[in-house]
Structure 1
């Protein structure tokens, strides 16, 4: 079972001295502009709710003024929410006293800001160990932990340098090391890489992904850049005017944008470079066991689309393909399926992005068998499914809704589809 680390429920934030008066108007159904005109209060967050699971990267994103940074700061109460609930590991953060909150922050959170916030007169090691120093950790122990964190982010050998002697990307690594040194397993990152040059920024995104996979940190990452959100690969919470307009994995948002705002947000993204075969693979086209008889196999595929069907061995691995015509011509016989099939079938891992298999798929009118990391059959990716995805058709979602199935989520970069694959292909 996946452990829930953060639960945000119905968070409202109104700025200004008349926040409570504004809250009453909001609860009465009044809009943002009406509230401001009548009370002067500014609505920053409007009933925001989401959860974050252990080891997950959740990207909270939106344009400037959408409320994403306000929401992040509400989690550790750098900004006080006007109403609502925030639970971290079951503790209601909104009810903590001032001292309890200070202690709770030190125990649970590491925070990385857009601007590096390093002390210019302290060495990198002294900057990294600062949080431990505040906690009262002995000098020898905190220096050891600081050096370990510095090495972890790739700054070994730079511990005695001053921040001004490091590049922007190296300073951001130092900021990340400072958050890691206190051993907080929840990282709150506010536009952490947006001040960096594009190439350094991509390196830092890769670095964060590697750290998250190795250390199993839980990360809430604020960004205004959809490309960055997609590259990080976690769930996305997309905000506008203080409210969530859509949430889900990148594939879900790209293929099924809800409303014009989201459509404009995703319109420049190359879907084939993001969506994975595990997401597109149809479970409605079953694999047929090679040791079964033709008369047993035909009823299974009789009402299914397509002319060719995957045949699997006793380990559920694709071994060939059999045509509808071959099966229908022998339904009254006990002919083994193995004698009717053509040996050999094109396969591709579920974590593969669509773009990588398009040339191969163009040569396979009956589709490619999608497999898990152990080579077990998951489903079929067809030319029509690929075309629907690339063209932005909603047919993919509709197909799964009609069959009562949920599409597999692909790997990019964390293994969010593994549990589903394991349970669905066991045996």
Structure 2
């Protein structure tokens, strides 16, 4: 089980990050910082705690900073300022060797674009993390087959990605993350490219897995219906700022501002049906 603590994280993209950071700390808005420095503020003083063994959803519209934020957890993106702690350990202090070990054993990721290796079979993709750790084929393959069966792909283990539908590819990505047996799974818009029925099925499967596994799952989406359906807690970002964190009931009944309230009005029927 792993708790994630994100503290005062800023991310500035551009050639004058220190100047832009100082402006952001002074409360100058994103548009003015861009006009005066040419820098884009990806994250602006974001702090939140993600509890262990639950599905925590980070949502917002395109450009809100949600994908930027999740990539700080496994340090695919370096912050301009702030810290990220997983189980009390500051990820930003890890030396290159320790960071590789952290990514191999502590955090796995499921991408929107599937991220499968086309020259490897389903089984070879699923066990990749275990093989990188040095586990032999005889030991790794049964682990892979267990998760292939769990996500409903038994019989497809020797197929290649080009022989699979989009939904099947997404299941392979999920099975690979589960086979890696990390405490944290990051899912960046993992279901957004899927057809509605397949997407609903994958949501059901994720909820079922969450009941059976002690994993901390950070799920990124721009869809409030999806966030409310699967999330124990939801964080909403706008223009790189954290607008609100709360349960689905909090978001529905106590929106923090007009931005959140507009989301709620658009989706009120679905929210009430699932969490009324």
The TM-score bracket by the shorter chain reads over 0.9
Structure 2: distance between partners of 1:149 and 1:163: 17
Q: State the 1:17 CA deviation.
A: 2.0
Partner of 1:253: 251
More divergent stretch after superposition (92-101 vs 71-80): 92-101
Structure 2: distance between partners of 1:248 and 1:199: 28
Q: Provide the aligned length of Structure 1 versus Structure 2.
A: 274
Q: Which digits, 9 at most, give the CA deviation of each residue in 1:30-54, with x for residues without a partner?
A: 2222322222211000011111111
Are the equivalent residues in 2 in contact too, given 1:250–1:274 (CA < 8 A)?
no
Seen in structure 2, the aligned counterparts of structure 1 residues 23 and 226 have a Cα distance that, compared at 3 Å, is: same
Q: State the 1:4 CA deviation.
A: 6.0
1:84 is the counterpart of 2:82? yes
- Unmatched 5+ stretches in structure 2: none
Structure 2: distance between partners of 1:272 and 1:64: 25
1:273 is the counterpart of 2:276? no
More contact order relative to length (CA 8 Å, sep ≥ 6)? 2
Q: Which digits, 9 at most, give the CA deviation of each residue in 1:282-318, with x for residues without a partner?
A: xxxxxxxxxxxxxxxxxxxxxxxxxxxxxxxxxxxxx
Partner of 2:143: 145
Are the equivalent residues in 1 in contact too, given 2:2–2:53 (CA < 8 A)?
no
Matches within 5 A, 1:117-266: 117-266=115-264
1:47 is the counterpart of 2:48? no
Q: State the 1:72 CA deviation.
A: 0.4
Partner of 1:350: none
Partner of 2:16: 18
Structure 1: distance between partners of 2:186 and 2:111: 8
Q: State the 1:121 CA deviation.
A: 2.1
Structure 2: distance between partners of 1:62 and 1:146: 34
Among 32, 35, 38, the residue aligned to 2:33: 35
Structure 1: distance between partners of 2:272 and 2:13: 42
More divergent stretch after superposition (9-18 vs 267-276): 267-276
Are the equivalent residues in 2 in contact too, given 1:61–1:223 (CA < 8 A)?
yes
Partner of 1:327: none
Q: Which digits, 9 at most, give the CA deviation of each residue in 1:229-267, with x for residues without a partner?
A: 111032000110001111111111111112211111111
Are the equivalent residues in 2 in contact too, given 1:4–1:51 (CA < 8 A)?
no
Q: State the 1:211 CA deviation.
A: 0.5
More divergent stretch after superposition (189-198 vs 146-155): 146-155
- Unmatched 5+ stretches in structure 1: 277-427
Partner of 2:97: 99
- SS of the residue corresponding to residue 143 of structure 1 reads helix
Partner of 2:7: 9
Q: State the 1:27 CA deviation.
A: 2.2
Q: Which is richer in helix?
A: 2
Q: Which digits, 9 at most, give the CA deviation of each residue in 1:352-384, with x for residues without a partner?
A: xxxxxxxxxxxxxxxxxxxxxxxxxxxxxxxxx
Q: State the 1:29 CA deviation.
A: 3.0
Are the equivalent residues in 2 in contact too, given 1:10–1:49 (CA < 8 A)?
yes
More divergent stretch after superposition (59-68 vs 250-259): 250-259
Are the equivalent residues in 2 in contact too, given 1:6–1:53 (CA < 8 A)?
yes
What TM-score comes out, normalization by structure 1 length? 0.62
Matches within 5 A, 1:300-315: none
Are the equivalent residues in 2 in contact too, given 1:76–1:93 (CA < 8 A)?
yes
RMSD (CA atoms): 1.3
